[in-house]
Amino acid sequence: MALATFGAGCFWGVEETFRKLPGVLNTVVGYMGGTKENPTYEEVCTDKTGHAEVVQVEFDPAEIRYEELLDVFWNNHNPTTLNRQGPDVGTQYRSVIFYHDEEQKRIAEASKQQMDQSGRWKNPIVTQVEPASTFWRAEEYHQRYLQKRGMDSCHL
């Protein structure tokens, strides 16, 4: 089993997107990349802790490759908007790939470069590629938020 961690805006919809993929064993939403230990949702929302809302994906590399997870990441958010996804604004909504080893770093950086050169977006990709740091699990009411409400995606 392996871990992948992505920030692509509000974690509710991002979690639901990854949770449904064959080969994904578990998803957990939380916070990563900030300075405060054990932050709460309210603290992260102040835009002062430096954390991103993230989804940590546990997956079986024999069933789904990391590259496939990256494809889902790129295809399910706008990686050209700095600290924003749709109506959600703040550093907690930034586009970020947190890599767990040097191989993930290499693959993520190559994928980002390929996407940036693809011409798919008129603006440059601003997605950050950073080493994974401490993952702080979000409060229980955030876990599988959309699934608990019988929803497939967030409605804007």
Of the candidates 109, 90, 86, the residue with the CA atom closest to the CA atom of residue 98 = 109
Tokens 């430096």 — which residue? 50
Q: Which structure tokens are listed for 63?
A: 């069933």
Work out the mean pLDDT of the chain and round it to a whole number. 93
Provide the β-strand partners of residue 26. Answer: 58
- Domain coordinates in residue numbering, the chain: 2-148
Mean pLDDT of 26-47: 96
Mean pLDDT of 55-75: 97
User: pLDDT grade, residue 155 (50/70/90)?
Assistant: low
- Which residue of the set 10, 52, 96, 132 is catalytic? 10
Superfamily classification of domain 2-148: Peptide methionine sulphoxide reductase MsrA (3.30.1060.10)
Backbone angles phi, psi at 54, to 5 degrees: -130, 165
**Is residue 87 helix, strand or coil?**
coil
Mean pLDDT lowest among 32-36, 55-59, 69-73, 147-151 = 147-151
**In the predicted model, is pLDDT for residue 23 greater than 90?**
yes
Contact assessment for residue 134 and residue 32, using Cβ atoms and an 8 Å cutoff: yes
Indicate if 154 belongs to the active site. Answer: no
Mean pLDDT of 66-93: 95
